[in-house]
Structure 1
Amino acid sequence: MTSRQPHLHMEIRVGIKKVKEALPRPGLLESLGRRGFTARAAALGGPPSASAAPQAPGGGHGGPAWPGGRAACLPLSPPTAERAGQEAGRAAFLPAGPASRAMAGSAGEGRAAPCGWFQFGFCFGAATEAGLAPVALGEAGRIRRVRPSWSFAAILATGAAPGRLLQGAASAALPPDCLDALPSETHVLLLREAALEGWPLPAEGDWAGVLDGQPAWRRALLPEEAAAADLPLVPGGYVAPRPPFFTPLPAALQARKLALGHEHAVLLSSAGTVFSWGGGRHGQLGHGELESRAEPLLVDALHGVEVADVAAGGWHSAGISEAGDLYIWGWNESGQLALPSKAVAESQATTAVGAGRGDVALNVARSQGAANSPHKAAFISIQPFPALLDMPCEAAVSKVSCGSRHTAAVTSTGDLYTWGWGKYGQLGHRDTASSDQPRRVCYFVDWKLCVVDVVCGPWTTYTHAVGR
């Protein structure tokens, strides 16, 4: 990468073996992937080769760490007698108790493979150790969508069953005509059959009548508009679960999908092009710089790549090409880009020394020495434009989701890979270690399950898996 930002205060390194990009011109990516793209060398005149942020567009991934290191699996029962009648409705979405978690720990012993939605990582009010392995959310086929925030999760049900809004042990039924929901820590945005509504969420766990009365904001929709909406995209713009709730978008963008990060937004157009705007101080916009943008701007580095899907995390972004190549950019502080991370290396060195593994500590020390060399940086803190990530076994990626500081990807073979920050077990590897390399989640392999979908909350991961 040419030195286009002399004011950067973090190490930015490009050209490692895991990254394949070419920038013969600033911001332009020539390397279009391994599986079927034609290099644009002739058109470009050369061969391919390997600030304060504005108001958050989404804001769903920011916030303070919860005290006490609370994490893991969904709760076992409501805390008050007045919610005892909700137990039957919640049973479809909550683990069955200790037996469920024992099942999550190991496969075999003649038990049938659990199918449906699973959760691992942080959950309000639970202990970290309880969520180090995936836990089934309930009966297969009962959940059609999961929408998480930091401590809340909206669970949308199939059929006539009402969905639920959960925060730890607290629960509230979503309205029967609720088609979708987006929670934050202060509000929940409901997509109903004839309207969009913004409702304030209770403080201190007072859930009595949380969705009764009048919403704080409402926007009428035609039934056909509501049925076609794909949150956060709605007719004329997009919504977020906090005031002002609705933001218009230029019709010329022809948006197909919108992903909201903590301070930024990434939009996929119907033509397969990518636009981004919002805070850019961590390179999450992919424009090759650390500047913020108030209006949608084309990500030039992906010019010529037909993008099929996009995702936005806390301060990083990702995109999948039609050929299954994964591009990723933004902040790499915890290895969430699957690029070498100094914080991950130091953590591994500390762990290795404590375990008496001096060889690992020595290798990390050598890498840190290379980082101090004026000729070569060993770690990447910020990747300000899309980098092509090599997945293990060159697997094609079909789905990607970004958490606050972790990433999860589903391959075309139904395997789930995770990387980044792992403090709350959100990587699904039965530990709290972070990783700057994609690692396959063995739980689903052991149970012979095919992962078909993944949704990352800020510190949590939800997956949908079916039998192979």
Structure 2
Amino acid sequence: MRWFGFGFNAFGQIYVHDKLIKGECSDAVKQVKVISPTELASHVDRSDCCLKTDGQIRASWSRRASLHLGGDSCVCLGGFGAVIASESCGISMKETPGCKDAFISELYLTLAFPDRIESWDLQKKEKTPSWSMEIKTESSGPPLNLPLVPGGYIATKPPFYRPLSPQLKAKSLALSAEHAILLSASGAVYTWGLGSHGQLGHGDLTSEEQPRAVEALWGMPMSCVATGGWHSVCISDGGDLYVWGWNESGQLGLPSRGLRKAPQQQSSQQAATGDLYTWGWGDYGQLGHQTLISSDEPQLVEFFREQQMRVVDVVCGAWNTFAAVVKEEVACS
């Protein structure tokens, strides 16, 4: 499995160019926008940032955390504050072995170990985490993925631990900067936080301090949830996609008055398993269409099909995108 990135690269989140390594940023603007999918390891000759086959990516606006799984599991950072040294932001590779999951924001990196949770302040050069919590592995049920932890979840800023009602029986949780969406074990969807752009899905623009069920989805079991900056997404057990919230840049995949000035050309290509479609704001090339054009209609990222690659995972940063791919097997005639 190989990881590719495209979009915002001002801090070397996708690849590190020579000017950043030397600290010469006068013409770094030329490297800010990566409009074509670029392999993460192809421009980096440092062992601490070469993503392994079984790795995963976590992204914030200016940083990328590469999670190396397997026997030598650990985390390394790319992007702001992590361009030159492996001991970036006070976090050494030597202090992350055994890490099973990671969650990164602009201010903090949270690491999950089998027996504890640690949050590191990315603005300080401290050699110890700013907060930690011991955890006990639950014997029953599937393992929890960050930001979920036993009894609650980890927030992007203090207080890090936030309790959740045990009655919710959370299956997965997605956090944006200002709102949250939770999927329960029964398939019900709950949201809370800022509601000023309709991102909570309650039919108004009111904020909610506690999880509230999205009544419009009641009775339709969902299988996964995700958040954008001011919008929310979920997929039903039957494979239907539901979206709501802010659509100024077409990020909902619905007609946007700001973009839809003329009928857009429909793609005649038939979708295949492993194809990647993107839409929304594209000013930094984060849609992967090798342009800086925004779109309110899902469009195929041609690069991966042309390279006979099948996309198996996608991670969206604020202004960039990361995709994990495998080589498509071609049947011999």
Sort the TM-score into its range (normalised by shorter chain). Answer: 0.7 to 0.9
- The structure with more helix, counted as a fraction of residues: 1
**What does residue range 7-406 of structure 1 map to in structure 2 within 5 Å?**
73-76=14-17, 79=21, 127-128=30-31, 131-138=34-41, 141-159=52-70, 160=72, 162-168=74-80, 169-170=83-84, 171=86, 172=88, 173-174=92-93, 175-202=96-123, 210=125, 212=127, 214-222=128-136, 228-345=143-260
Q: Given the two structures, how large is their TM-score scaled by the length of structure 1?
A: 0.58
Structure 1 unaligned blocks of 5 or more: 1-65, 82-124, 204-209, 350-359, 365-390, 396-410
Structure 2 unaligned blocks of 5 or more: 1-7, 42-49, 329-333
2:285 aligns to what SS in structure 1? coil
Determine if contact 2:107/2:157 at 8 Å carries over to the other structure: yes
- What RMSD in Å do the two structures reach over aligned CA positions? 3.0
1:412 deviation in Å?
A: 7.1
Tell me the residue number matched to 2:4: none
Amino acid at match of 1:134: P
Amino acid at match of 2:16: P
1:202 deviation in Å?
A: 2.7
2:303 aligns to what SS in structure 1? helix
Tell me the residue number matched to 1:425: 285
| Separation (CA, whole Å) in 2 of partners of 1:230 and 1:298 | 22
| Separation (CA, whole Å) in 2 of partners of 1:439 and 1:271 | 33
Determine if contact 1:259/1:312 at 8 Å carries over to the other structure: yes
- Report Cα offsets for 1:360-414 as digits up to 9, x if no partner: 5xx79xxxxxxxxxxxxxxxxxxxxxxxxxx98999xxxxxxxxxxxxxxx8711
| Separation (CA, whole Å) in 2 of partners of 1:466 and 1:321 | 26
- Report Cα offsets for 1:174-223 as digits up to 9, x if no partner: 411222221212121111232111111136xxxxxx462x3211111135
Which structure is larger by alpha-carbon Rg, 1 or 2? 1
| Separation (CA, whole Å) in 1 of partners of 2:246 and 2:210 | 21
The alignment-based identity, stated in percent, is 42
- Report Cα offsets for 1:108-127 as digits up to 9, x if no partner: xxxxxxxxxxxxxxxxx663
Amino acid at match of 1:280: G
Amino acid at match of 1:338: G
Tell me the residue number matched to 2:327: 467
| Separation (CA, whole Å) in 2 of partners of 1:328 and 1:259 | 14
* CA gap 1:72/1:165 in 2 versus in 1, 3 angstroms: closer
Amino acid at match of 2:110: L
| Separation (CA, whole Å) in 2 of partners of 1:276 and 1:392 | 34
